[in-house]
Amino acid sequence: MKLTLRVWRQQNPETPGAMATYEVDNISADMSFLEMLDTLNEELTLAGDEPVAFDHDCREGICGACSLVINGDAHGPERTTTCQLHMRSFADGDTIDIEPWRASAFPVIKDLVVDRSSFDRIIQSGGYISAPTGTAPDAHATPVPKPDADFAFEHAECIGCGACVAACPNGSAMLFTSAKVNHLNVLPQGAPERETRVLDMVAQMDEEGFGGCTLTGECATACPKGIPLPSIAAMNKEWLRATRKVRR
Amino acid sequence: MTCGSVRFGGFRTACRDERDYYLERIYPAFGNLVPRDIASRAAKNVCDEGRGVGPGGQGVYLDFAEAIQRMGRKAVEAKYGNLFDMYQRITDEDPYTVPMRIYPAVHYTMGGLWVDYDLQTTIPGLFAIGEANFSDHGANRLGASALMQGLADGYFVLPSTINDYLARNPHTDTVDAAHPAVAEAVAETEDRINLLLSVDGDRTPDSFHREIGELMWEYCGMARTDDGLRKALARIPEIREEFWRRIKVPGTGEQFNQSLEKANRIVDYLELAELMCLDALHRAESCGGHFREESQTPDGEAERRDEEFSYAAAWEFTATGGAPVLHKEDLVFEYVHPTQRSYA
Ligand code: SF4
Ligand code: FES
């Protein structure tokens, strides 16, 4: 395949960026999108240009590092992560636009790499359980009903990629935060911090400058892990419950 | 696919020649349930013999047809639907109707930084937990248990050992930037970065990464020989020399630079690769994931030589390219003693 790429290039957070055009040739349909970018980068390096900076780690769709807006869609045309998107989703001769996540809470570091430490701070504010360590409890000491386990698991699937934020016209992080809150709040292990967790994580989310939620639903359409839109309603319910329960 | 699915049975492994179900042929008693080191080695062997499948011939079939017939598609879906979806996404082939193509890949190495029982390295205050240390797994790792090491170290061990270190309040003074050790480390790092940026050669960091990877896969991978390891040990210094002559790192050291990051990791990789080969060469027995072709039983099983090698080898770094010093930590077994594994 022969493709024209229009890629966002930005030296650093201070310098304004712009789209740059490149041609790539001999792209196999079985290549992943990131392997296609590797090919471009090898050529750029040998030509003495700086390769395009982009985030990646596992390339298996499980770590959440890869993060590209492809032809206007977070993670591109398929419902998956960028690393699991393959070139067979494109046609020979296509022009492909490649941009970073765009949200003020995700400033661009360089080219296609954005700073997602705001997500880490949301997790740090409540995405944990405090448990006494010591002797390991028996596996059946804390029974969890199957529907609760399934609900927790569904939300634990969130890989923190940030596609929900990138897809949202308001740059809201409600889907991500709700995934994290719901995952732990439904489990007995998460019960001791059930109220503080949702209050603190939502407060941190606001502080990071993410936008408000208007239930547009773009987040759930872009999410590679299928975190459903009602997660946000479930978190709102948790939040309301917590405000009534906790006096601060 | 993962060891989980490979343990599940019901599937059959085959190569190109008229569905040669080679695991069933070689290990009639265990067939497709042989441990993964044996299964992986056998897969590489049939591909090395030119009997692999798919473009490039780097693959064998994992045939689920019988399992689907026996358990029903629903049951297989419930168990492995996720995995099958991933496979379909990557290959654009439906594993429910077409046999999967698989090939072994390195995703874990036994061993790591030496730590004491508190998980502290030889540098006071530097603790290494999870896959980074050598502590929990021996010469082989059980399936799906790399996470166990991270969880056990992080959840159970470290919370009870690091407090002892912290309780001694070791950091009353911050180290001054002018301290000779700091100055030395900074100068060494700056020199290395400047050198990497200034070579301006004609090879990319990725091309070296690939070259060392292929070398290790061939000579220090699932099956090793004295001859092959010596070849690798002769080749690595040559690659290192070529690296410092031909590496090309665009950009500067002043800002985020992924090429520079990669090049630095390759400098580390060369060091680690050399050590792994050296360690594999000195251990002239087969043991767990370390299979020395010279040391095998008549039926092709790994042959242990516990009288000589029942120790963990901790290598002390001296200098890049210099000979590391071997410290032997004896392995003492009180209740369960290692025995010869046999799947024949
Ligand atoms: S909710 Fe989905 S899109 Fe958002 S961070 Fe998690 S996995 Fe990514
Ligand atoms: S690189 Fe890990 S999810 Fe894409």
- The CATH number given to whatever domain includes residue B40 is 3.90.700.10
Is there a contact between B343 and B29 (Cβ–Cβ < 8 Å)? Answer: yes
Residues B72 and B152 in one domain: no
Residues B216 and B162 in one domain: no
In this prediction, residues A109-129 reach a mean pLDDT of 97
> How many structural domains are present in chain B?
3
> What are the Cα distances from residue A234, in Å, to A6, A182, A185?
40, 7, 10
pLDDT at B344: 56
Q: Which of B246, B263, B282 is the last residue of a domain?
A: B282
Residues B75 and B168 in one domain: no
Q: Is A25 exposed, middle or buried (0-12, 13-18, 19+ CB in 10 A)?
A: exposed
Residues B83 and B41 in one domain: yes
**Which tens digits make up the pLDDT trace of A130-163?**
766 667 677 788 899 999 999 999 999 999 999 9
Q: Do A46 and B90 touch (CB under 8 A)?
A: no
Confidence bin at A89 (pLDDT 50/70/90): very high
**Which tens digits make up the pLDDT trace of A26-70?**
999 999 999 999 999 999 999 999 999 999 999 999 999 999 999
- The CATH number given to whatever domain includes residue B222 is 1.20.58.100
Residues B189 and B266 in one domain: yes
Please list every residue in chain A whose beta carbon sits closer than 8 Å to the beta carbon of residue B56.
Answer: none
Instruction: Say yes or no to pLDDT of B177 above 90.
Output: no
Q: Which of B188, B197, B185, B187 is nearest to B257 (CA)?
A: B197
Question: Residue B78 falls within a domain, yes or no?
Answer: yes
> What are the Cα distances from residue B137, in Å, to B78, B117, B292, B332?
31, 14, 19, 15
Chain A's closest residue to B155, CA to CA, is: A133
The CATH superfamily of A3-109 is Beta-grasp domain (3.10.20.30)
Please state the ipTM of this predicted complex.
0.89
The CATH superfamily of A116-132+140-245 is Alpha-helical ferredoxin (1.10.1060.10)
Place of tokens 């020649």: B17
Distance CA B323, CA B195 (A): 24
Residues B48 and B72 in one domain: yes
Residues B193 and B206 in one domain: yes
CA distance A114 to chain B (A): 11
pLDDT at B10: 47
Pocket test for ligand 1, best of A68, A118, A120, A159 (most atoms within 8 A of CB): A159
Q: Whole-prediction pTM value? A: 0.89
Question: Residue B2 falls within a domain, yes or no?
Answer: no
Q: Which of B81, B102, B123 is the last residue of a domain?
A: B102
The mean of the pLDDT values for chain A is 95
Task: State the residue range of the domain holding B81.
Answer: 7-102
Question: Residue B269 falls within a domain, yes or no?
Answer: yes
Question: Residue B218 falls within a domain, yes or no?
Answer: yes
Chain A's closest residue to B250, CA to CA, is: A50
Q: Do B259 and A50 touch (CB under 8 A)?
A: yes
**Which tens digits make up the pLDDT trace of B199-253?**
999 999 999 999 999 999 999 998 999 999 999 999 999 999 999 999 999 999 9
Residues B114 and B63 in one domain: no
Cα A85 to ligand 2 centre (Å):
10
CA distance B72 to chain A (A): 23
Please list every residue in chain B whose beta carbon sits closer than 8 Å to the beta carbon of residue A44.
Answer: 250
Q: Which of B62, B85, B102 is the last residue of a domain?
A: B102
Does residue A225's CB lie within 6 angstroms of at least one atom of ligand 2?
A: no
- The domain locations on chain A are 3-109, 116-132+140-245
Q: Which residue has the higher pLDDT, B298 or A126?
A: A126
Q: Please count the other Cβ atoms lying within 10 Å of the Cβ belonging to residue B121.
A: 16
Question: Residue B313 falls within a domain, yes or no?
Answer: no
Residues B159 and B247 in one domain: no
Distance CA A62, CA A160 (A): 10
Confidence bin at A247 (pLDDT 50/70/90): low
Question: Residue B154 falls within a domain, yes or no?
Answer: yes
Residues B240 and B194 in one domain: yes
Instruction: Say yes or no to pLDDT of B14 above 80.
Output: no
Question: Residue B311 falls within a domain, yes or no?
Answer: no
Is there a contact between A39 and B204 (Cβ–Cβ < 8 Å)? Answer: no
The two three-digit tokens of residue A176, written as one number: 């991500």
Question: Residue B93 falls within a domain, yes or no?
Answer: yes
CA distance A214 to chain B (A): 32
Confidence bin at B2 (pLDDT 50/70/90): very low
